[in-house]
Copies of this chain bind each other. A is one copy, B any other.
Amino acid sequence: MAKHDRDLSLLFHALSDPTRRAILTRLAERPARVTDLAAPTGLRLPTVMRHLSVLEEAGLITTTKDGRIRTCALVPEALDPMRTWLEQQRAIWDARLDRFDAFVMRTMKEDKK
């Protein structure tokens, strides 16, 4: 559970930055080189490199180097742990809503007495 937790933390942290989300959106369209990813951000290369390594450590992208060009590509299944967490949260929440409904029903019955 601890490792799963770490994965989630890395994932959420990677997604918490707008620049990184923009990069992901760009990569969702097609793989791209580092320089091409940097251009629209208005940031310097080393800064973008850092963002890319955060994304890579979170498992959201993979990169391969061909000659002097590094190509970055999305890893779409990387978002799965997040979906799972969301669904779990929803499940617990729904259960709570049911209990709350039951509570309201009971209370209303009591009031009628």
Contact = CB atoms under 8 A, between A and B. Distances in A.
Interface string A2-34: 000110110011011110010011001110000
State the oligomeric state as a number of copies.
Answer: 2
B18 A16 contact: no
A86 interface: yes
Nearest to A30: B96
Interface residues of A, number: 28
Contacts of A17: 9
A18 to B, nearest CB: 5
* Prevailing SS type, chain A contact patch: helix
Contacts of A8: 15, 18, 21
B89 A86 contact: no
Nearest to A92: B28
Given A12-B12, A12-B13, A13-B12, A89 B18 contact: no
Contacts of A24: 89
A71 to B, nearest CB: 15
Contacts of A28: 89, 92-93, 96
